[in-house]
Structure 1
Amino acid sequence: MSRIAIVSAMHEELRALLPALEKPQRAEFAGRQFHFGQMQGQPVVMVLSGIGKVAAATTAALLLQEIDVQRIIFTGAAGGLGTGVRVGDVVIARELLQHDMDASPLFPRFEVPLTGRSRFGTDRDLSDSLAAAALHCLNHAAERIGETHLADFGIDSPLLHEGLVISGDRFVATAAESDTLRAALPDALAVEMEGAALAQVCADFGRPFAVIRTVSDRADDSAHVDFNRFIAEVASVYTREILGTWLSGRVD
């Protein structure tokens, strides 16, 4: 049975997942702790990548080369960009792009030099099954987290979105920055700091991957408000429930 990698960018998410790991064992590569075991009877490895594109790329390369995982799932938070993408919603990436890649005029803006492409697609089957699990969990979000708790973050009837997620090595935290990104990439649903780097590495290795993001803010001037609390109390719960549902096959 092939091992699945679950990668988190932040400590809070990894800490929420580790208690679900059965028969845990650890190994270290390049300063990273890799946690091996089973989740819902499936062999998995969990790891903290760290924040940013280089950290994500290094972690992905280690998983694929040193551990030989067959599938990678990246989880974390993102800023919402698309119309109707609200705090508490979940975005399943179908494509990823580096919004800060610009080698023009040698290459078109956003294109990764020498690849001929700017967008890297996720695995369709893997993303489809995770989307089904995410929709199931969102439909039961009030049961898992509590209506009052969700209301504390202004979350009401969270939705699932699927499409383009963009990545860059900066935390987008002003309305001016998010407006600029929307103008350049009008189909972008969300912005984060790791997914497109993971996508490029997985494309090089020819391995399937998926990216799940919980929308923590609208990538504007309020993006820093209660961010860490949101990760610990909402995003990490979503991640644990979605992955547990997906691995168990319990989808309505």
Structure 2
Amino acid sequence: MKIGIIGALDEELIPIRALSSHLEKIERGQRTYWHGDMHGHQVYLTRCDPGKVNAVIATQQLLDFFEPDVLFNMGSSGALAPNLEVGDLVVATDAIQHDFDLIGWGMKPGEILFDVVTKPETGQLGFTSRHAFITDPKLTDLAFETARSLTLDEINGHKPAVYKGRVVSGDQFISSVEKAGQLLTTHNALAVDMEAAAIAHTCEINKVPFLCVRAMSDKADHSANVSFTDFLVAATDNYGKVFDKIIQQLGK
């Protein structure tokens, strides 16, 4: 099986690269990819950088160049649910682009349009729509059970818990408690980031199964005092453990 893996930051890919054998660096255009073997599978990794457009470009290029059978995404997210602590993992069940706004057209917050055409008989716009992009159910269940079975590195004395639920994404860094509360209320999401929904959207269009695992880098009320560097060291090690175990369990 060929597995594509995308992270927003290069640091998030380091533990996966460390677990890969026969690692090689591949340059395509302005993007760097890493190719290696893990438990009999071929893995292809790349950094997308923050933001939905960056995420879509990186995802589509990886799919076009290497044709993976599945695509995994990991990274940091902001907690929206008040019970989440720094370091907790969220395995995404679905993802919404929270900053896509056609409420004025009578759409739900985050609802996306497709196949927009003008109907010649009426002169009115016709379209289909999609609100949430669903992750692959089998991969999601496997990741959730796998992560819960592992001993994860503590962060600031907290042993990370594992949750399963919705994430939302947008081209915004959410830094206010009020905005986080609005996203929680509007979308009933556990966490917010800047890439996952765009990657999920791209994978669905290409009919490639998608898995997303996110670690919380801050609490919804911003009360936790953990440096991002300390968080990233432990979180990326936890990503490595989870993805290594998942890949061991995948069929050839």
Same fold, TM-score > 0.5, yes or no: yes
Show the counterpart of 2:166: 164
What one-letter code is carried by the residue in structure 1 that aligns with 2:129?
G
Counterpart of 2:144 (choices 131, 134, 138) is 131
Consecutive unaligned residues in structure 2, runs of 5 or more: 115-127
Equivalent pairs, count? 236
What one-letter code is carried by the residue in structure 2 that aligns with 1:245?
K
Query: Equivalences for 1:39-50 in 2 at 5 Å?
Result: 39-50=38-49
- Percent identical residues: 30
Query: Equivalences for 1:117-128 in 2 at 5 Å?
Result: 117-128=130-141
What's the offset of the Cα at 1:28? 2.1
Alignment partner of 2:90: what SS? strand
Cα distance in 2 for residues equivalent to 1:191 and 1:135: 21
Cα distance in 1 for residues equivalent to 2:90 and 2:58: 22
Consecutive unaligned residues in structure 1, runs of 5 or more: none
What one-letter code is carried by the residue in structure 2 that aligns with 1:240?
G
Q: Is 1:228 aligned to 2:229, yes or no?
A: yes
Instruction: Verify the 8 A CA contact 1:173 1:222 in the aligned structure 2.
Output: no
Q: Encode CA deviations 1:154-190: one digit per residue, 9 max, x unaligned.
A: 414x2211111000111112212112212222x2111
Counterpart of 1:182 (choices 181, 184, 190) is 184
Instruction: Verify the 8 A CA contact 1:93 1:122 in the aligned structure 2.
Output: yes
Alignment partner of 1:7: what SS? strand
Q: Encode CA deviations 1:71-105: one digit per residue, 9 max, x unaligned.
A: 00000111111242222211000010011110232
Cα distance in 1 for residues equivalent to 2:199 and 2:146: 22
Instruction: Verify the 8 A CA contact 1:81 1:188 in the aligned structure 2.
Output: yes
Cα distance in 1 for residues equivalent to 2:179 and 2:147: 29
Cα distance in 2 for residues equivalent to 1:174 and 1:191: 12
Structure label with greater radius of gyration: 2
Q: Is 1:212 aligned to 2:209, yes or no?
A: no
Show the counterpart of 1:242: 242
Instruction: Verify the 8 A CA contact 1:177 1:220 in the aligned structure 2.
Output: no
Q: Encode CA deviations 1:122-179: one digit per residue, 9 max, x unaligned.
A: 0011111111221112xx12xxx3xxxx36x2414x2211111000111112212112
Instruction: Verify the 8 A CA contact 2:80 2:192 in the aligned structure 1.
Output: yes
Instruction: Verify the 8 A CA contact 2:82 2:220 in the aligned structure 1.
Output: no
Show the counterpart of 1:53: 52
Kindly report the root-mean-square deviation, in angstroms, between the aligned alpha carbons of the 2 structures. Answer: 1.9
